[in-house]
Amino acid sequence: MKKVFLPSALLIVFFAAFFTSCVKDTCKNSYTYTLYRPVYETVSQLKANIKSGSPEEIENPGKIVILGHYIFLNEIEKGIHIINNANPAAPQNVSFIKIPGNMDIAVKGNTVYADSYADLVTLDVSDPAHVALKDYKENVLQFPYYGGAVAYGPQYKIAGWEKKDTTIVEPCGGGGGVIALERGIAYLSNSGNSASVPAANNSGAVGTGGSMARFAIVNNYLYTVNGSNLTVFDITASNGPAYVNSTTVDFHVETIYPFQDKLFIGSNNGMFIYSLNGSPANPVKVGQFTHARSCDPVISDGQYAYITLHSGSSCEGYNNELDVVRLNMLVDASLVQVYHLTSPEGLSKDGDLLFVCDGTDGLKVFDASDVLNMKLLQRLPIGDAYDVIAQNHIALVITTDALYQFDYNDPANIHLLSKLSVLKN
Amino acid sequence: MKSIILTITIVLAAGVSLAQQKKLKFHSINSIAITGGESPAAVAYETVNGFGFSSWFAGLGASLDNYHFQSIPVFLDSRKYFGNEKQLFLFGNIGGNFPVQKQAAKEFSYHDDYYFKGGFYADAGIGYRFPVKKTSLVFTVSNSYKSMQGRSINYVECLVAPCPVSFKDYYYNFYRVMIKAGVMF
């Protein structure tokens, strides 16, 4: 026993000493990120490149405006698709206007007003195949933020973004200092044909925007909201808009919806009603309705305002609901009903039908004849619906992966007219 | 992982088969361990059950390992005894390491979500067995390794849903010393 124990004990002590020299805890982390590096152009280069070209794939659809038989569809931060919708069952993508940084659109007659980061671009679209730049106003809008930083200079503009996927491996706690973002990019099959493009010829009519719009035209004024401001432009002159003034509305203003002589403005904290009566160049705040902090597009039918609140965005908040607010003389606002939804965003109303984009639940159609007891007529499971325009018995719905059109002549039988499918990347 | 499970199954099946032929003797070794390294020392509890044959032992083990991240290693254990008394032995363990908590508590980090995944487990060292009546006291010292993975998920705020989501993967490797004391039946 002793013969074995002593050498064994020595062996164990030796191994213990050996093992203790091998102790180490390590941690590495790896992350794959998509780096978007801005590509700069001079202002003159950028202006020269703002023109229509052949139709392009719809990759990342944004805001929509309808005027006549044309759909103006924003390609987020890239430009505008012009879609000939003379036959809603077979819309034709006819051209693409390259506008770096574009997020919003307003249309009056044959003139398109669009943002390009902080600049306001005015275009003549009387011939959609040959769009002409009419005016370019620099730094009249608030510049968008990217990851908390504003990237622009006085002499150069961002013309596009270079995308690069990179995987970094580093010790834990190393702090790469890189914003890791993955943008969902989808590709839409392009069945457009630009061989025969009729002239827009919309005279002085104003395009109908969606509820997520930040541009609105009432008569001879263009109203834009971004950041915390409501900015007014006089668009009477044919050679381009004239800046009139800018008013602070609220922190983080998101949407603007014109109705009669009022502007309904949605912000993080509520809805604000501005009157244009008598002073369209100087809108006056006449009412407001505050709610829990959230994103909130708003529409109105004159008697009621319909506000959707959703969580999961920079607006913060936890509410996912449709608020119905009674309007007294379009001024006093009081909440009368709340409907809990999944993740509601854009909405539109035509007669007694209320259309609500409810995130991944798709499009929900309500009978809103009794706002206190709205009934869900139909849910159209079309993926992540973002915004809708319902007019002339056709609901145009934009989702993250398609542009849909539904015929709702018979509310009991809402059926699909057309779908421009998106190819997921 | 599939290969580990397959190997364990084959070993156990072979063990049971040989035990039925009375060539093997079943043993259960239950130990408590102190685990030390760069992280604070922690206690681990281990059980190994298997069969002895001649100067060899092979079995299946599992432990509750509290070092740095609480985890459950599941492993194959093999031992080679030396000398006539078969008291001194070398042993090795190899297997998988599985997290106790799949999702980290919020206070673990600022990440919106943090998930753990399993990794690899190995342990090799030297031991000594003191026979006491029909049982034995077993002491070992070894160098042990366990690895784990973590994934943090940040939901990036944005104006237009769906908002981007960023991921970061973490690979943890722990090389430490284990000193075990246990009873072998």
- pLDDT, one tens digit per residue, over A150-197 is 455 556 777 777 877 878 888 886 543 333 233 322 222 222 222 233
Per-residue pLDDT band at B2 (split at 50, 70, 90): low
CA A423, CA A288: separation in Å to the nearest integer?
42
Q: Does A243 touch chain B (CB under 8 A)?
A: no
Question: Regarding predicted confidence, which is higher, A17 or B112?
Answer: B112
For the residues A305-331, what does the mean pLDDT come to? Answer: 74
Domain count, chain A: 1
pLDDT at A188: 21
The tokens for A163 are 């995308």
CA atoms A410, A415, A420, A422: torsion sign:
positive
**Chain B interface includes A412 (CB < 8 A):** no
A171 found inside a domain: yes
Of A190-194, A354-358, B93-97, the one with minimum mean pLDDT is: A190-194
Which residue range forms the structural domain that includes residue A92?
Answer: 27-189+203-209
Residue B39 to residues A25, B68, B118, B177: CA-CA distances in angstroms?
7, 6, 19, 11
CB contact under 8 A, A26 and B36: no
The mean-pLDDT minimum among A20-24, A151-155, A362-366, A374-378 falls in: A151-155
| pLDDT tier for residue A298 given thresholds of 50, 70 and 90 | confident
Q: ipTM of this predicted complex?
A: 0.78
pLDDT band at residue B16 using 50, 70 and 90 as cut-offs: low
Distance from B127 to chain A by nearest Cα, in Å?
7
Nearest to A22 among B127, B143, B158 (CB): B143
Query: For chain B, what percent of residues have pLDDT higher than 90?
Result: 56
Report CB contact under 8 Å: B177, A20.
yes
* A359: nearest CB among B37, B161, B176: B161
In a domain, A402, yes or no: no
A263 located within any domain: no
A176 within 8 A of A30, measured Cβ to Cβ: no
* E strands in A210-362: 215-218, 221-226, 229-234, 242-248, 253-259, 262-267, 270-275, 284-290, 298-300, 304-309, 321-328, 332-340, 347-350, 353-357
Q: Is A238 exposed, middle or buried (0-12, 13-18, 19+ CB in 10 A)?
A: exposed
For residue A180, give the nearest of B159, B160, B166 by CB distance. Answer: B166
Is A370 a domain residue?
Answer: no
Give the percent of chain A with pLDDT over 70: 80
Mutate: best of A1, A6, A12, partner B, most B CBs <10 A: A12
Whole-number pLDDT of residue B6: 66
Give me the pLDDT at residue A175, please: 42
CA–CA separation, A376 and A341 (whole Å): 11
The residues on B that touch A, with CB distances below 8 Å, are: 36-39, 68, 83, 85, 87-88, 125-128, 139, 141-143, 154-177, 179
Query: Smallest Cβ distance to B38: which of A11, A16, A25?
Result: A25
Q: Which long-range contacts (CB under 8 A, 24 or more apart) does A137-145 make?
A: A137/A240, A137/A241, A137/A243, A138/A43, A140/A231, A140/A233, A140/A243, A141/A115, A141/A117, A141/A224, A141/A226, A141/A231, A142/A118, A142/A226, A142/A227, A142/A229, A143/A117, A143/A118, A144/A101, A144/A103, A144/A117, A144/A118, A144/A226
pLDDT at site A122: 95
A295 found inside a domain:
no
Residues 157-176 of A with CB under 8 A from B: 172
CA distances from B35 to A64, A298, B62, B145 (A): 63, 61, 15, 11
Residues of B in contact with A295 (CB under 8 A): 159
The reply to whether A173 falls in a domain is yes
Of the ranges A31-45, A223-237, B15-29, the best mean pLDDT one: A223-237
Give B-chain residues touching A9 at CB under 8 angstroms. 128
Q: Is the Cβ pair A180, B167 closer than 8 Å? A: yes
pLDDT at A424: 60
Predicted TM-score (pTM) above 0.90: no
- What is the dotted CATH code of the domain comprising B2-184? 2.40.160
A226 or B139: which carries more pLDDT confidence? B139
